């Protein structure tokens, strides 16, 4: 079974964690999930799976918003 | 104003949609000495810019089955083993545009002189050279203001002319003089410093600033304290900056100071990446390193805007050995070389050009007609003088004609000697050589040639200003103008 690592900005409740694992399994099939905390994410979470990062962190969203404000369009 | 700003921010925030960001990642498995090894990272591509978790950047230049060798563009102390790396999906690029004029940047476009560089246009540092049909033959001169270069080894716009010589022979000064001479000639100049001392680069910038040359110049610098990766990228970045102007129909001069240090930086990088060492421990693609850079110098056809990019690469030799590995490589790539000799330099000949070993393979076609008329026999005269001078060292009795030839050769050598940043216009060079050709300096002692030349030029400006201006404008002179100059000089 492949492994997926879930990095959350803060300790999430077991219910929330189970929900995230369920959604990951729904998308990629049976996955062995592993949980870690990374405060630098500020909020949200990221999933590391099969050489790819699925980034839903507040840090990245804020960076994207900054990029959007910097652009002249 | 405040209302506009808040409306703008509100609109931006409202239109921003929150989407998950998906990208490939790898893990740092080894880091040190400016390189890192990354495992994973599916879909990576050659030359791709990678971002480390700490925000530092690197460039993937060694692709392997299970990872990549990465050269670091920032200091390695912020990168840890086990940290994540993501591909940015873009290759290393540099901001380009008019805003760079007068600025000093590093090879990835970060300002080194204060204010941040803001540009809408970015060019990848590695770009293919213009193809065959985009080019035309070199047909316009790129004057350096130095009488010995412009008469004996003329450089054309779009040419690649190597400046080669031992340390302390005036290579950088010659290149700087070529830049200073472009003032008011609608030429963009780029000075690229690779692996030099920061104090040396700073003094070059000061020279450019104090001479008013920074207005049309850009300095791209990767000093000796920068990572080998930055030193490796510097010439490509400088070329990309030049290409922006060339593609807009402008004439550009790029000085690469110097490619020996560039080769050394690339060797360090390659050895750290554990590539097989070849001759002198350089990697196998060392020729391609410089050929792909110098092939980007071009004289574009009218359909491509007609811009030109002239390259003046510099190579430092050791003990005058121009047949070493890197010098011979670059000699074979370029369209000629200006060889500066230590002995001449120490004998007071400046620029210390060895006319026998210097050559310009395409520049003669671009030489102004006026200069061609007065300089056609100079090379032979100098060669005969040098040969004769060797014999005369034996102290043998010399006949009158030999003595005359030696005297003339000595005076010519003195005439071709110029002070640092003391540059001549085309008409001044032509007038001096015309006067020399007509035995005008025959009665002058070699040591007095400089004063005599100065007095002669002053007289010319006072009496033949129109003829000189005409030569500068048309690049040629009529028999009447020739007579006017000679008559004025004799009077």
Provide the CATH number for the domain around residue B68: 2.40.30.20
Q: How far apart are CA B415 and CA A1, in angstroms?
A: 83
Scanning B353-416, the segments in alpha helix (DSSP H) are: 363-366, 369-375, 378-392, 400-415
Is B17 in CB contact (< 8 Å) with chain A? no
More confident residue, B32 or B334: B334
What is the number of structural domains in chain B?
A: 3
Scanning A9-56, the segments in alpha helix (DSSP H) are: 14-28
pLDDT, one tens digit per residue, over B229-263 is 999 999 999 999 999 999 999 999 999 999 999 99
Predicted pLDDT of residue B399: 84
pTM value?
0.89
- Across the interface, of A52, A53, A68, the residue whose CB is closest to B16 is A68
- Per DSSP, the three-state class of A56 is strand
Residue B139 and residue B74 share a domain: no
**Chain A CB contacts of B23 below 8 Å:** 52-53, 55
Residue B405 and residue B384 in contact, taking contact as beta carbons nearer than 8 Å: yes
More confident residue, A25 or B308: B308
Predicted pLDDT of residue B391: 79
Kind and range of the H or E run holding B281? none
Task: Specify the CATH number for the domain of residue B162.
Answer: 3.40.50.300
Name the band, by pLDDT with cuts 50, 70 and 90, for residue B3.
confident
pLDDT, one tens digit per residue, over B342-373 is 999 999 999 999 998 999 998 888 999 999 99
Task: Specify the CATH number for the domain of residue B426.
Answer: 1.20.150.20
Residue B139 and residue B365 in contact, taking contact as beta carbons nearer than 8 Å: yes
Residue B246 and residue B196 share a domain: yes
Report whether pLDDT(B74) > 80. Answer: no
- Per DSSP, the three-state class of A54 is strand
C-alpha torsion sign, points B116, B117, B122, B128: negative
Cβ of A52 within 8 Å of Cβ of B40? The answer is no
Residue of A nearest to B9 (CA): A69
Report whether pLDDT(B75) > 70. Answer: no
Model-level ipTM above the cut of 0.90: no
Optimal mutation site among A27, A36, A55, interface B, most CBs of chain B within 10 A: A55
CA atoms within 13 Å, Cβ hemisphere of A69: 14
**Chain B CB contacts of A53 below 8 Å:** 21-25, 84, 86
Residue B391 and residue B276 share a domain: no
Mean pLDDT of the B151-165 span: 97
Residue B3 within any structural domain of the chain: no
Residue B379 and residue B350 share a domain: no
- Across the interface, of A51, A60, A68, the residue whose CB is closest to B21 is A60
Of residues B449, B488, B441, the one with CA closest to residue B465: B488
Cross-strand bridge partners of residue A44: A57
Is B117 in CB contact (< 8 Å) with chain A? no
Is A53 in CB contact (< 8 Å) with chain B? yes
More confident residue, B24 or B325: B325
Predicted pLDDT of residue B153: 96
Residue B11 within any structural domain of the chain: no
Predicted pLDDT of residue B10: 83
The structure tokens 């011979």 sit at B328
Predicted pLDDT of residue B55: 85
Residue B174 and residue B141 share a domain: yes
Report whether pLDDT(B170) > 90. Answer: yes
Residue B379 and residue B342 share a domain: no
Residue B60 and residue B37 share a domain: yes
Predicted pLDDT of residue A69: 78
pLDDT, one tens digit per residue, over B312-323 is 999 999 999 999
Of residues B253, B227, B266, the one with CA closest to residue B62: B266
Residue B80 sits in which domain range? 22-91
Mean pLDDT of the B86-105 span: 93
**Chain A CB contacts of B9 below 8 Å:** 69
Mean pLDDT of the B374-397 span: 85
Residue B457 within any structural domain of the chain: yes
Mean pLDDT of the B40-67 span: 89
Name the band, by pLDDT with cuts 50, 70 and 90, for residue B44.
confident
Q: Is B90 assigned a catalytic role?
A: no
Which parts of chain A register pLDDT below 70? 71-73
Q: How far apart are CA A37 and CA A5, in angstroms?
A: 10
Mean pLDDT score across all residues of chain B: 93
Of the residues B65, B91, B117, which one is the last residue of a structural domain? B91
Report whether pLDDT(B333) > 90. Answer: yes
Name the band, by pLDDT with cuts 50, 70 and 90, for residue B445.
very high
Residue B354 and residue B322 share a domain: yes
Name the band, by pLDDT with cuts 50, 70 and 90, for residue B42.
confident
Residue B143 and residue B194 share a domain: yes
Predicted pLDDT of residue B432: 96
Of the residues B367, B382, B411, which one is the last residue of a structural domain? B367
Residue B280 and residue B322 share a domain: yes
Cβ of A55 within 8 Å of Cβ of B24? The answer is no
**Chain B CB contacts of A69 below 8 Å:** 9, 12
Residue B108 and residue B73 share a domain: no
Report whether pLDDT(B76) > 60. Answer: no
Cβ of A64 within 8 Å of Cβ of B16? The answer is yes
Predicted pLDDT of residue B33: 83
Of the residues B348, B367, B386, which one is the last residue of a structural domain? B367
Report whether pLDDT(B176) > 90. Answer: yes
- Could you count the other beta carbons within 10 Å of the beta carbon of residue B380? 9
Per-residue three-class SS string for B320-347? CCCCCHHHHHHHHHCCEEEEECHHHHHC
Residue B319 and residue B405 share a domain: no
Terminal C-alpha separation, chain A: 45
Predicted pLDDT of residue A73: 57
Residue B7 within any structural domain of the chain: no
């Amino acid at each position: 079974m492949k492994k997926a690592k879930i990095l959350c900005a803060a300790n999430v409740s077991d219910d929330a964690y189970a929900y995230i694992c369920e959604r990951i399994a729904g998308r990629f099939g049976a996955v062995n999930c592993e949980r870690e905390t990374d405060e630098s994410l500020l909020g949200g979470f990221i999933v590391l799976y099969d050489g790819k990062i699925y980034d839903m962190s507040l840090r990245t969203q804020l960076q994207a918003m900054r990029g959007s404000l910097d652009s002249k369009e | 104003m405040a209302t506009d700003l808040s409306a703008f921010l509100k609109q931006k925030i409202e239109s921003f949609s929150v989407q998950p960001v998906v990208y490939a990642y790898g893990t740092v498995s080894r880091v040190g000495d400016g390189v890192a090894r990354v495992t994973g990272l599916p879909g990576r591509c050659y030359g791709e810019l990678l971002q480390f978790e700490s925000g530092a950047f690197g460039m993937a230049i060694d692709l392997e089955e299970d990872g990549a060798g990465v050269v670091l563009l920032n200091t390695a102390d912020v990168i840890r083993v086990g940290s994540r790396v993501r591909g940015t999906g873009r290759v290393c690029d540099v901001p380009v545009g008019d805003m760079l004029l007068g600025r000093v940047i590093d090879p990835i476009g970060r300002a080194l002189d204060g204010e941040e560089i803001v540009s809408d246009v970015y060019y990848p540092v590695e770009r293919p050279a213009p193809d065959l049909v985009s080019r035309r033959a070199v047909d316009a001169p790129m004057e350096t203001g130095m009488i010995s270069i412009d008469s004996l080894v003329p450089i054309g716009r779009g040419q690649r002319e190597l400046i080669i010589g031992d340390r302390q022979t005036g290579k950088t000064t010659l290149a700087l003089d070529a830049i200073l001479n472009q003032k008011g000639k609608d030429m963009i100049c780029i000075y690229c410093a690779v692996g030099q001392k920061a104090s040396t680069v700073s003094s070059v910038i000061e020279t450019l600033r104090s001479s008013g040359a920074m207005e049309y110049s850009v300095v791209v610098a990767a000093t000796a304290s920068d990572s080998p990766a930055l030193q490796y990228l510097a010439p490509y970045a400088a070329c990309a900056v030049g290409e922006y102007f060339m593609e807009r129909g402008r004439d550009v001069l790029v000085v690469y100071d110097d490619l020996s240090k560039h080769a050394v930086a690339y060797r360090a990088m390659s050895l750290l990446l554990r590539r097989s060492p070849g001759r002198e421990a350089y990697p196998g693609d060392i020729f391609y390193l410089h050929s792909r850079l110098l092939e980007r110098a071009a004289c574009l056809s009218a359909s491509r805007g007609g811009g030109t990019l002239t390259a003046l690469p510099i190579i430092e030799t050791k003990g005058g050995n121009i047949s070493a590995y890197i010098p011979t490589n670059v000699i074979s790539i370029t369209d000629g070389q200006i060889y500066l000799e230590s002995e001449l330099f120490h004998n007071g000949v400046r620029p210390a050009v060895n006319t026998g070993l210097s050559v310009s393979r395409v520049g003669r076609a671009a030489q102004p007609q006026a200069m061609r008329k007065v300089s056609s026999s100079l090379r032979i005269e100098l060669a005969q003088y040098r040969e004769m001078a060797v014999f005369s060292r034996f102290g043998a009795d010399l006949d009158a004609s030999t003595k005359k030839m030696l005297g003339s050769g000595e005076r010519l050598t003195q005439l071709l000697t110029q002070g640092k940043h003391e540059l001549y216009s085309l008409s001044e060079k032509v007038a001096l050589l015309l006067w020399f050709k007509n035995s005008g300096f025959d009665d002058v002692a070699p040591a007095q040639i400089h004063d005599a030349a100065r007095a002669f030029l002053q007289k010319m400006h006072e009496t033949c200003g129109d003829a000189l201006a005409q030569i500068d404008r048309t690049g040629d002179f009529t028999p009447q103008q020739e007579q006017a100059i000679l008559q004025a000089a004799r009077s």
